[in-house]
Structure 1
Amino acid sequence: MNIAKATYCVRRVCTVLFVILSVLCLSWPLASMAKKRALLIGISHYPQTTRNNPCTWTNIHGSNDVRLLRGTLQKQGFRITTLTNAQATASHIRRALKRLCQQAAKGDMVVIHFSGHGQPFEDLSGDEADGWDEAIVPYDAKKCYSRTYTGRCHIIDDELERYINSLRTTVGPRGFVYVVLDACHMGGASRDESETDSAACARGTNVGFSPNGRTYIPRIDRRGHFTVKASPRMAGVCFIESCRAYQTNTEIYEQGQYYGPLSFYISQALQHTPLTHNLQWVHKVVEAMQHDKRLIKQNPVIETDR
């Protein structure tokens, strides 16, 4: 090989190396800018009106879950926003979700968590096969339809999905979004009378919210995994729900406090495991709940884009 050819080859190699290093240097700042963000919402005390009012929500222990998970996620470097009790109104939750979508950036890891009551909500758009949406119950959402309350403070799954899809698009395929729902959409206000632990509460009601006076009849679906929309332009997502739609999510007593079982076992799983895109820790949570004899009638549900 003559000197001219050798020089040409060296230049080509240097050019290729320069391009590779340039790409790497550009990607490193982006990776370092990625953040971990969490919005934790928990309600223990709902507004009480008259005693034994069937339209009043019972008090539970959702704010305990926020305290528990805040400490767990802070240790893993998350920037955390919390809304508890009277802070967790529908308008405040919507505002926090919108702000989260605006503040998030490419590559971020995001956790959205809700601990409180859940309720079936009559499907008015016609997109649900069983005729019922699922709704989380903010602090100011009423249990019953009336002339003065038509459901504006319930946050149904269709609305929540819009926020989540916006967030997934914002953080992009290098990011990831977890949604934890420690509520249920049927069940009573407390454990069965046969249970000895009367202070433990169920998070939800089997009375559907219906402007048309319909009666909610739960559909029995025993699947533990569902697949949601995937897109190469959107972040991966994992919804973790405390129980199937026809089951009751009952709190458990641990370490001197009542917690939602899903929140408690998530905290346990993340004590020594970093929260990443890898869903192995999620399966550990499911296994732990299934081995808890108190939760024999409760099965968590996972929804992913994979």
Structure 2
Amino acid sequence: MALTRTTRSKLSRTQKEALDCYVFMSPAIIGMVVFLLGPILFSAYISFTNYSILKSPVWVGLGNYIGLFNDEFFWLSMKITFIYAAVSVPLGLVVSLLLAMLLNQNLKGIYLFRVIYYMPAVISGVAVALLWKWLFNPEFGLLNWFIGLFGIQGPQWIYSQDWALTSLILMSLWSVGGSMLIYLAGLQGIPTELYEAAEIDGAGRFRRFLNVTIPMLSPVIFFNLVMGIIGSLQVFTEGYVMTQGGPNNSTLFAVLYLYRQAFNYYSMGYASAMAWMLFLVILAFTLLVFKSSPMWVFYEEAKAKKTSKARGRTA
């Protein structure tokens, strides 16, 4: 890639800058093609094959996708994943917004509390799953010990078919610090003049929250909603580390079932077909949220442009 001094001197300054730009970008581009785009295209190919790693792929066409529609465990895993997402996403949005409003106060030491509430979002993965597995232990777990102080016998949590999924939904609140921080930035970006004007008009605290805070935060809510949907439909670590999909497949998430097909049964083609089906489902939900956003997401700049256009027409 190196150019001789004679060749380089013939290049214009713009060409030199473009060449330098591509040289510096090349490691990232090569890495993306080799480690991201390449595996994506390969998984798309093997999703139409019978591939078990040890043997060469055998083309089966749509056989893997047809098999998914007849696989009761696939539909069970999708059902459990949808229930988890339908409950954990709205719950996380509400809790993180409430925390952000509490931490948006001008109080002494508030920065320390912001750090404390955000720290759990940084600590994630297997370590958190093991921590919560201990908390949910029905014999010596901290949760049942605390409930027992009030004379109440705690449930079996992740060891019970009826409570396992609920336990993991409650555990999802551990990571609301990330959404809380984004909400906090959005709250601090709301002009105080809007609250003052609403208060002069006689709006109470609830009306100010409903008519000022929520519309001005709608782009932030939209962002957190999209990220929450994408993340919740790909939940894996909790089910793999804490429950292994049990008891009685009550926490068999879609990605966990995909992992079993790929690395327990070595059905790489079937697992790739599952991955692409899950991708299409996530894409459909994301597009649905984007499609609905004009009805409830408020952008101040867009409204200002519409107002100026309307004034120009009437002038």
TM-score of the aligned structures, taking structure 2 as reference length: 0.25
TM-score of the aligned structures, taking structure 1 as reference length: 0.25
Q: Larger Cα Rg: Structure 1 or Structure 2? A: 2
Q: Which has the higher contact order (CA 8 A, sep 6+)?
A: 2
The structure with more strand, counted as a fraction of residues: 1
The structure with more helix, counted as a fraction of residues: 2
